[in-house]
Amino acid sequence: MIHMNNFFRLLCLSLSLVIVAATAAPTYTPVVESILHNGFPTQPDVLAKTTQSLSDEFKKTGNIASLVFYAYGMLRQANYFLATNDIIKASEYAKTGFFYLDEAVDLNQNIPLIRYLRAKVDAYLPAELGRCVITLEDTDILLKQELSSRIRDNVNDMRYRAFYNCKLYQQAGQLLSILQVDNPNKKIDMAYNGSSTWELDEVTQIIIPLMRAK
């Protein structure tokens, strides 16, 4: 069974960033767009309905952003069940969330930026879950892409965490040394749990293009 201690609180990605110009053009994913504007609902029943709507949206449009956000919704529901001590449901919803997060990547090998959305979750999970191996693969592929400096910085941060969580301490130290060449004060806070708002660069360069894809 998945080790639950301090697990699901790390999955609470806050999607409360308000998008103005970024979503001005038409998209094919109104449910995803609504979440970007308003965040995931906090009420359990509304969250469940929204998550189901994301599943329906994916089935209707085939848009990969809807599938990824459906996985996020399942993980957030897992967090709710953990908070109410329903460990069985928490585990089931978490497994489903991770399954579809992996499915989104596996079905779209030609769209490497999807891996960023998976690494955004995996990089901040407890080491014992073993997702660090997946993050190392994702970040390796991402770093071979043409990325903005900010997105590249984020990927390197996630890669460092993956090295550390996989107990590859030498590789983690080497990566940090490389990053400190350009930024001598560079530090990576391993206590940070990743539950921050989406950055504008992440929304405009990764999420929005996926939303607009047919």
Cβ atoms of 143 and 181 closer than 8 Å = no
Residue-wise pLDDT tens digits, 110-169 = 999 999 999 988 888 878 788 999 999 999 999 999 999 999 999 999 999 999 999 999
User: Would 2 be classed as within a structural domain?
Assistant: no
**Which pLDDT band, with edges at 50, 70 and 90, does 22 fall under?**
very low
Among 82, 73, 153, residue whose Cα is nearest residue 121: 73
User: Would 96 be classed as within a structural domain?
Assistant: yes
At 131, the amino acid letter reads R
User: Would 138 be classed as within a structural domain?
Assistant: yes
Residue-wise pLDDT tens digits, 32-49 = 988 888 889 989 999 999
Number of folded domains that form the chain? 1
User: Would 202 be classed as within a structural domain?
Assistant: yes
Give pLDDT, residue 128. 79
User: Would 48 be classed as within a structural domain?
Assistant: yes
User: Would 196 be classed as within a structural domain?
Assistant: yes
Angle at 93 between CA 106 and CA 47, to 5 degrees: 105
User: Would 3 be classed as within a structural domain?
Assistant: no
Give me the domain span that covers residue 104: 8-212
Strands (E), the chain: none
pLDDT at position 57 over 90? yes
User: Would 1 be classed as within a structural domain?
Assistant: no
At 11, the amino acid letter reads L
pLDDT: which is higher, 9 or 203: 203
Among 1, 9, 3, 59, residue whose Cα is nearest residue 31: 59
